[in-house]
Amino acid sequence: MTSDLGFACSCCGAHHPELPTSPGDHVSPVPVAPADLSRRAHRFVEIEGLRVHRPDIRRHRDVWIEHGIPAAEIDRATAFQDRWGGIALPPAPFYEGGPRILSAGCPEGPSSEGWSFPAGDCRVSMAYGFMIGPDGAFGIHGYRWTPLHASTEGWVESLALAAHARRWAKTITRVTGKAVEALDLGGFEPVPEVQGVTDAWWRGEGTLIAVYRGEAVGLDAPQCLEVHVYGGLDEWGLHGG
């Protein structure tokens, strides 16, 4: 787990306090979005997101290696921290808002799937945590590992699209449980940039549909299946860059 007061290592159980910052360590509150995001997601990160101090996980490398964590897994977590660490985004419309701040933690494993590492602390008490899986997918892990999007970029794209759709839709309809299976997605196309795995977005004439299956699958709880239907969208509302 990471926190503003330090770093609690899940592999050795030790608490590693963060080094104090000096005036020269000032971090701009404006995050820099990765260049490979869509224009819509790029605007979302830099306009609606914040950048805070991110823990330096490189200084835990020797301790982690001593506890049997492969160097390649530490490198994966470090690369995530360099790219996403310290970025705080507005709450997601599901999963109780998603991670409070994107931040890598101590790699965990091995499991039947491989090694994973935490992607950031939850905003509220949850039955699962947010993780980056062995293949780089962004997902949740509680009862089982459940990839939501094929990458963190996909997760961020989904947040940006949800914020955009809420702003421009004339109607928003929430569908839950068994009623979801009755939805007809004929004539809709998947939105590729969200890189959906368990979750997905679909685009049709005047309508965007967000499908949230993660909790239903990951917690073996079909009653948690939920869909948000955004209607009355014009061309800009459907795409937004």
pLDDT in tens, 190-216: 999 999 999 999 999 999 999 999 999
The sign of the torsion formed by the CA atoms of 196, 200, 202, 208 equals negative
CA distance 127 to 117: 17
pLDDT for the residue numbered 5: 38
CA distance 50 to 30: 6
Give 45-61 as a DSSP string.
IIII-EE-----GGGGH
pLDDT in tens, 121-172: 999 999 999 999 999 999 999 889 999 999 999 999 999 999 999 999 999 9
Contact 67, 107 (CB under 8 A): no
pLDDT for the residue numbered 205: 95
- 47's CB contacts (< 8 A; 6+ apart) are none
CA distance 22 to 7: 19
Beta bridge partners of 211: 200, 227
pLDDT for the residue numbered 20: 40
Q: How confident is the model at residue 14 (pLDDT cuts 50, 70, 90)?
A: very low
* Number of Cβ atoms within 10 Å of the Cβ of 119: 27
pLDDT in tens, 30-43: 888 988 999 999 99
| DSSP 3-state of 76 | helix
Question: pLDDT above 90 covers what percent of the chain?
Answer: 78
Q: How confident is the model at residue 45 (pLDDT cuts 50, 70, 90)?
A: very high
Average of per-residue pLDDT values in the chain: 89
CA distance 28 to 221: 41
Where in the chain are the domains? 2-155, 167-239
> Which pTM was predicted?
0.88
Beta bridge partners of 73: none
CA distance 93 to 146: 18
